[in-house]
Amino acid sequence: MSRPQAKDRRILYGRRRGKPLRKGQQRLIEHDLPRLQITIEEEEIDLPSLFGGEARAYWLEIGFGGGEHLAWQANANPDVGIIGCEPFVNGVAMLLAKLEENGAQNVRLHTDAAERLIERIPSESIDRAFILFPDPWPKSSHHKRRFVSGENINALARIMKSGGELRIATDHTDYGAWILWHMLRSDHFLWQAESPDDWRSRPADWPPTRYEMKAVGKGLRPVYYRFLRKNRA
Ligand SMILES: C[S@@+](CC[C@H](N)C(=O)[O-])C[C@H]1O[C@@H](n2cnc3c(N)ncnc32)[C@H](O)[C@@H]1O
């Protein structure tokens, strides 16, 4: 029997909506989102067409929250096509406000579970992927909800170019260990760290997120992992 596709099983556990959107946020969702939103068809996504021409590289951010990191990267790297995935509509509205402010044109959005999008991304097409502060789901009965899993690591390994970089951060000690355990047993990625500073501090081209700032404010010490997609045999 073939593996059920993401569309056939439950994969999203978090909220899709929070507080009612303000008028300005509603306007962004109605006017700006349709222009940037990716339509998922049965076929593979054609990345150059999606971005209106060949980009220098293609990046993917999974669960961008309020979009602080994504908006910063889009503005700093205008020649990169960046896809953001976020099912929480209030976060999408926050990102749209940031893009309106900084004028970045190189972002496209998927407002549903990343798993559904990854299935439609061509193999060996993504140069860099970010999973920043994914929901930790601390109860052991909820661990199966965690985004970092053998299945999702394999799915990312398929779409990432050899030598591409996967960045994952968390403030949750148990999830930090879980992420390392899953990544180190993967045949497809190599951990970049040589000394503790390599995962305890954020590189200069990695701006902080809202969730991260809250965690640091509570005295937590996040970890910042960087893995390289191994060369294919
Ligand atoms: C703890 S928040 C972190 C948000 C942001 N990265 C930050 O650091 O501020 C995790 C985010 O992942 C999103 N998320 C959860 N499951 C997801 C999935 N399957 N695909 C894409 N995003 C998802 C949630 O809606 C939420 O916004």
CATH number for the domain that contains residue 90: 3.40.50.150
Rounded Cα distance between 84 and 77, Å, is 14
Looking at residue 8, its pLDDT comes to 56
Domain count, the chain: 1
Looking at residue 40, its pLDDT comes to 83
Are 156 and 85 a contacting pair, CB within 8 Å? no
Look at residue 191 and tell me if it is in a domain: yes
Rounded to 5°, angle at Cα 168 from 69 and 55: 55
Q: Which residues are near ligand 1 (CB < 6 Å)?
A: 11-12, 14, 62-66, 85-88, 91, 113-115, 132-135, 147, 209-212
Domain span holding position 175:
26-38+49-229
Looking at residue 12, its pLDDT comes to 78
Kindly report the backbone phi and psi dihedral angles of residue 185, in degrees, each rounded to the nearest multiple of 5, phi listed first.
-90, -5
Are 191 and 227 a contacting pair, CB within 8 Å? yes
Look at residue 17 and tell me if it is in a domain: no
Nearest atom in ligand 1 to the alpha carbon of residue 212 is 8
Q: Which residues contact 18 (CB under 8 A, 6 or more apart)?
A: 88, 89, 90
Q: Tell me the best of 86, 131, 170 to mutate to test the pocket of ligand 1, counting ligand atoms within 8 Å of each CB and taking the most.
A: 86
For residue 111, give the nearest of 94, 131, 88, 90 by alpha carbon.
88
Look at residue 15 and tell me if it is in a domain: no
Mean pLDDT per 10-residue segment, the chain (233 residues): 54 84 96 94 92 97 98 98 97 98 98 95 98 96 96 98 98 97 97 91 95 97 97 91
Nearest atom in ligand 1 to the alpha carbon of residue 134 is 10
Strand-by-strand arrangement of the 189-191 sheet: 107-110, 80-85, 57-62, 126-132, 160-170, 223-229, 189-191
Smallest CA separation from ligand 1 atom 22, residue: 63
Are 60 and 85 a contacting pair, CB within 8 Å? yes
CA 64 to chain centre: 6
Smallest CA separation from ligand 1 atom 11, residue: 63
Nearest atom in ligand 1 to the alpha carbon of residue 87 is 25
Q: Phi/psi zone of residue 125: left (φ > 0), alpha (ψ -120 to 50 degrees), beta?
A: alpha
Look at residue 143 and tell me if it is in a domain: yes
Look at residue 195 and tell me if it is in a domain: yes
Residues serving a catalytic function are 135
Look at residue 167 and tell me if it is in a domain: yes
Looking at residue 164, its pLDDT comes to 98
Look at residue 129 and tell me if it is in a domain: yes
Going from the Cα of 187 to the center of ligand 1, the distance in angstroms, rounded, reads 26
Look at residue 14 and tell me if it is in a domain: no
Smallest CA separation from ligand 1 atom 1, residue: 135
Residue 69's SS3 state is helix
